[in-house]
Chain A
Amino acid sequence: MGNLLHPLRRFRASNRPTLLRSVVVLALVALLALLLAPTTATSSPFAPAPADEAAEPGLMDRASAWIVQTQRDLHRQLTTVLHELDETPTARTAAALIIASFLYGIFHAAGPGHGKAVISTYLLTHRQSLGRGIWLSTAASLMQGITAIAAVLILIGVLGWLARDTMGQVRHLELASFLLVALLGLWLVWRGLRSIWRLRRQAVDAERRGADSAAAPPATASGTLMAPGTFTPVETGNHPAIRGPQPATGNHSHGPDCGCGTPHHVNPNQRGPWYATVLAVGIRPCSGAVLVMAVSYLLGIWLAGIAAVLAMSLGTAITVSVLAILAVQARDWTRSLLRPTPLSGLRYAGPAVGIAGGGVIFFVGWTLFQGTLAVAPVRHPLGL
């Protein structure tokens, strides 16, 4: 993990112009925020584009057409090879199936638009090491694959359901996932509030102790208390806890068990949200994986199906990990950008950003939950 962090340190130490960096960071954050757009676009479409703009395909159009085409080709290849494997079960066909599934997973970047949004928002607003960010993406992607495998083996294999009913069941897992995402958001908000409350109590205690020893009236402490929710810069020079370079939000004293919510590399308190994120994202299987698994099971080549779904999840994990790396780096860049500014001294900045992230995650989960609930499930006219 130390090795993984190393390039970041190097970047931090490099001497780039601050303006450029801030522009880049803002652009990154904006792009990541745009990732949320597909999840909410269904309820509120963007402003309509002028008709004549659609007349000339630009670079973006061609890129998007290329991606659609590649996804399509990989999907068709995957399906074709799967059925070839049923007819001529050779090692070569099996290898082709695994490769096609893996590439499809990379390219198609997982069913979860919302999963990516949740993971990137979480990593943008909550301090996690690069390694844990990558692990988060990988675990969530793998869990999605495993959910798909388990759903098919249990529902079709054990309970003898029809494929179409199994596909219908995906909706319930989807709803569960959205609800869990909303709960995760609430939890993150609550954790942020709790750490702010603890920080404030600590500050008050510290002020009181200082006031007792100096026999001075606790004017500053009451000043802090009078303005809840506003940020209070800490005089770093006076603060006893500063030892060497500290993260921007780390300008306060904390012991190993203070649980103060500005997470550290190995803070065990972050394990809860980490697992919750994996669960919330991973409980929703990709419909494509369910289909592959279902048809493999019915064709009697379920081992090939499991291998294909796992390869697909691994491919997905790579893409989502890239996103996780970008999110962790963007957060890191922002922090290093803000270091020389007075903002870095804000005591409550860390928890406040965490609360904002939790709020966004709650919003995404709740919107999707309500949106999915509002649309009654209609059986597809062609039967599946």
Chain B
Amino acid sequence: MNRVLPILALLLFCGTLGAHPHAWIDLRVSVLFTAEGDVKALRQEWVFDPTYSHLLLEDLAVDQPDLDLEEALELMTERMLGNLREYDYFTEIELGERRLVPAPARNGSLHLRQRRLHLKFDLPLEAARPEPAQPLNYRVYDPTYWIEILHDAEDVIHLAGGGGCTAHVQPARPEPWLVAYAATLDRDQRAPIEDLGRRFAEVVFVECNPR
């Protein structure tokens, strides 16, 4: 029995975590500051996994056989950012307790490097100073958890012009029962299942010294 129970517990977990991502994005973020030291935008770079990148490009090649790669990537950038707008670009940003809604993305671009698509864009925010009592925090996640989005382990969060500020990543802690806890949080009428990805999301806190 003592040998059987751990195996069973293992299986149980695999069952609970049955909803697994099928693709992944390595996330690179720069927090852009104004000259006064306020946060003004989040610059993001999403690096898609090679399989996802390949399938997207193949589909586009069938859809639009006349385009060359440059034009195809441009078209794909427009489509992606257009679709993502409805989902706030998979980005949830808060200043203290207050939710910041990003303006439409700017400077979007898509490149193919080493079999992986790199999507870059800037998310403009209303200028705000993230003080210790009111830190800025953000999560980037696919609500359906079809794609797992995590910060690139080989990259750091850049604070561009944010002197006296620090950023730290709180790793995802996907306890099986946290999904229920997350569902009770105050968020605008999304079905619980749509927020599955949230419990697997990292949270980044940006704090600056008081002025």
Contacts and interface: CB of A to CB of B under 8 A. Distances in A.
A381 interface: yes
B9 A383 contact: no
A67 B179 contact: no
A35 B12 contact: yes
A79 B49 contact: yes
Interface in A42-70: 42, 45-49, 51, 54, 57, 60-61, 63-65, 67-68
B59 A164 contact: yes
Interface in B46-74: 49-52, 54-56, 58-59, 62-63
A109 B173 contact: no
A382 B58 contact: no
A381 B46 CA distance: 14
A31 B84 contact: no
Contacts of A164: 55, 59
Contacts of A109: 11, 14-15, 18
A382 B180 contact: no
B169 interface: no
Contact of B54 (A32, A299, A323): A299
Contacts of A113: 15-16, 18-19
Interface string B19-39: 111111000000000000000
Contacts of A76: 24, 49
Given A42-B192, A111-B18, A80 B50 contact: yes
B115 to A, nearest CB: 6
B133 interface: no
A86 to B, nearest CB: 9
A241 interface: no
A322 B3 CA distance: 12
Interface in B153-191: 172-181, 183-184
B205 interface: no
A24 B146 CA distance: 37
Given A76-B24, A163-B59, A83 B50 contact: yes
Q: Which of A27, A80, A380 has the most CB of B within 10 A?
A: A380
B83 interface: yes
A181 interface: no
Interface residues of A, number: 65
A45 B15 contact: no
Nearest to A21: B1
A292 B52 CA distance: 10
Given A34-B12, A79-B49, A71 B20 contact: yes
B56 A64 contact: no
A375 B86 CA distance: 18
Contacts of B84: 381-382
B178 A322 contact: no
Contacts of B19: 38, 113
Interface residues of B, number: 60
B59 A383 contact: yes
Nearest to B60: A383
Contacts of B98: none
A146 interface: no
A383 B17 contact: no
A42 B193 contact: yes
Contact of A162 (B62, B178, B193): B62
Interface in A284-313: 287-288, 291-292, 294-295, 298-299
Contacts of B193: 42, 375
B58 to A, nearest CB: 5
A381 B80 contact: yes
A384 B56 contact: yes
Given A57-B173, A71-B20, A288-B22, A295 B14 contact: no
Given A72-B148, A298-B54, A65 B174 contact: yes
Nearest to A71: B20
A82 B84 CA distance: 29
A283 to B, nearest CB: 17
B56 A79 contact: no
A319 interface: yes
A48 B52 contact: no
A183 interface: no
Given A48-B181, A63-B9, A79-B49, A54 B15 contact: no
B7 A322 contact: yes
A146 B22 CA distance: 19
Nearest to A27: B5
A37 interface: yes
30 contacts: A32-B8, A34-B12, A35-B15, A37-B15, A42-B192, A46-B177, A47-B180, A49-B175, A49-B177, A49-B180, A54-B178, A54-B181, A63-B13, A83-B54, A108-B14, A109-B11, A109-B14, A113-B19, A163-B58, A295-B55, A319-B11, A323-B8, A326-B4, A326-B8, A329-B4, A380-B147, A381-B86, A382-B147, A384-B55, A384-B59
The 9 closest A-B pairs by CB, nearest first: A113-B18, A109-B14, A381-B83, A163-B55, A45-B180, A48-B184, A295-B51, A83-B50, A162-B59
